Amino acid sequence: MYLSTTLIIVALSFFVEAAPRSLRSGFAIPISKRTRLHDANGFIDIAKLQRGVRHSITKYYLGFQAYQQNTGTRHPSAPLVKRSEKRGAGHETIVEPYWYGSIFVGTPPKTFTVNFDTGSSDLFLPSSTCDSSCNGHILYDTSESSTAYDSEAPFVLQYGDGSAVRGTLYTDDVSMGGYAAKNQTFGGATSYADGFTYPGWLPDGLLGLGFPTLSGYGAMPLFHNLVAQGILPTNSFGLCPSELYIGGINDQLYKGDFTYVPVTQEGYWQTNTDGIYLGGQKIAGTTNTIIDSGTAMILGDSKTVQAFYDQIPGSYPTGDGYYSVPCSFDSEISFQFGTSNFTLQPRTFNLGTHSDDPKACVGGIVANDDFGFWILGDVFLENVYTEFDVGNMRIGFALPA
């Protein structure tokens, strides 16, 4: 049964901009980042990029399925047809752990590393009964915690290639930073899908920071549990490449003022961009967008993405939605929220040199028509300080310090 919260969506008609800076207390969780996008010769691994995109697509289908199960209605952004399955793609389970850090589980607390994913809502860890697919990871053992409870309820997170993360649901005390969520539901895996095995996957598990309606367990996500318990100084978290800040934002890691945009559809951290620009030229207007730390690239519809690359002399498609651009390309790319534009640094847009053409580099904006929205992943998030504000149902962006 889905656990509803007292949170409601407030329909915001306008953007709240230039909010004054205030000192907020909270706890910082240092983040490690790993990028495994290159082959042994230092060239960009196109096959690995393609698998990463297919994983993200599969993740969204899982989220849409959970949303319908929890609410009884189809998510407004869910496609009517699973296009990736229809064309035979989306069948590999590969995850790139771009943002990961430590949490603490049980009494006494035991440290686990998890990938922080704003594009999903559940927590899972490898359990002490996991098979060899969990080798190399720290294991969760109920016998080591006085606050552990085994629900004996099974869970399965099924992926398109037939592999899955499966196991049993537990509850225990789980801490993020200095805040402990009591009786937190999470999955203890007895087997891991290929994409979560060590050493390809460094974190022990995954922690979703999305909304309750996306929970495949029908349970309260960890951050929302902290909100419901009323123990946070501010019901938001800040994210940048070096840190996840629980209970507000870290004033030392951004400059200027925040631009806030409303969450337009509860479930994902979903909002609208007001424009996509290349070299000062507007490529697209208002665009339905999801902010997702669990996706490496920026994914957009093929028509707009092609129009984008058509404005770059020397660019050409390299297959599966990817494009190559001259490695010397450095025109300004920006995304507009309200009246503020946030620019991609060339180093984040340029993924690396193509093995077939030493003068060509692969661009971080990828065409995909599975969904009617854009996904702004790591390629975008590396360029901003982001506040995910549950209390006010909004997302804030500021320039990194």
Catalogue the active-site residues. 117, 292
Q: Are 271 and 395 in contact, with CB atoms under 8 Å apart?
A: yes
CA angle at residue 179 from 176 to 180, to 5 degrees? 85
Stated as kind and residue range, the H or E segment containing 188 is: strand 179-191
Residue 214 CB partners (closer than 8 Å, separation 6+): 63, 66, 67, 70, 120, 121, 122, 208, 221, 267, 268
Residue 349 CB partners (closer than 8 Å, separation 6+): 333, 363, 364, 365, 379
CA distance 249 to 231: 16
Q: Are 48 and 36 in contact, with CB atoms under 8 Å apart?
A: yes
CA distance 58 to 39: 24
Q: Are 295 and 366 in contact, with CB atoms under 8 Å apart?
A: no
| Size of the chain in residues | 401
